[in-house]
């Protein structure tokens, strides 16, 4: 007994446009912008009209040695890499403070509390960001939380008199 099978109509895709027929290697690509971006990042002395302080890495025997032997007061920013306000403080507030106060009047130091928990514990850093001003080897001022640039500048200038 023979059974008849009927075929369903075959659906065909519409013809491809001319853009789809181009080989992928011949596709037009945007020019690489990495050269211009890296050039902009290399010029870190100016961003707009604000002056940005350059970071230098110095080595001391200990944190206490650095605080006690500094010729100028030391402003210490206790931070963590995962802390959003700490990142904002580093990118927005501290460059303005460094430009307004001057690096000859105060030394700015950043301490990662995850890498140096013993220092954070010694100074009872329980909230981030915490900013401490050390003058003559002792804590002169302490700010917990996120100050804005004018507040921090005014406070620093008061303690630096």
The answer to whether 51 is a known catalytic residue is no
Could you confirm whether 83 is annotated as catalytic?
yes
Q: Name the active-site residue from 74, 76, 83, 98.
A: 83
The active-site residue out of 66, 67, 76, 86 is 86
In DSSP notation, the chain reads ------PPPPP-PPPPPHHHHS-GGGS--PPP-HHHHHHHHH-TTEETTEE-PPP-----S-HHHHHHH-SS-EEEEEE-TT-HHHHHIIIIIHHHHHHHH-TTT-EEEEEETTT-HHHHHHTT--SSSEEEEEETTEEEEEEES---HHHHHHHHHHHT-
- Residues serving a catalytic function are 83, 86
């Amino acid at each position: 007994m023979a059974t008849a099978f009927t075929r369903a109509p075959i659906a065909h895709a519409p013809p491809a446009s001319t853009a789809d027929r181009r080989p992928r290697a011949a596709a037009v690509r945007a020019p690489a912008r990495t050269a211009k971006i890296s050039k902009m990042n290399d010029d870190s002395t100016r961003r707009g009209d604000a002056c940005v302080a350059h970071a230098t890495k110095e080595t001391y025997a200990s944190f206490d040695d650095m605080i006690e032997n500094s010729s100028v007061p030391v402003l210490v920013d206790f931070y963590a890499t995962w802390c959003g306000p700490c990142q904002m403080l580093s990118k927005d507030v501290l460059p303005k403070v460094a430009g307004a106060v001057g690096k000859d009047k105060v030394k700015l130091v950043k301490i990662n509390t995850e890498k140096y928990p013993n220092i954070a514990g010694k100074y009872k850093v329980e909230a981030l960001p915490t900013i401490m001003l050390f003058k003559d080897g002792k804590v002169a001022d302490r700010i917990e939380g996120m100050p804005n640039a004018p507040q921090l500048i005014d406070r620093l200038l008061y303690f630096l008199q």
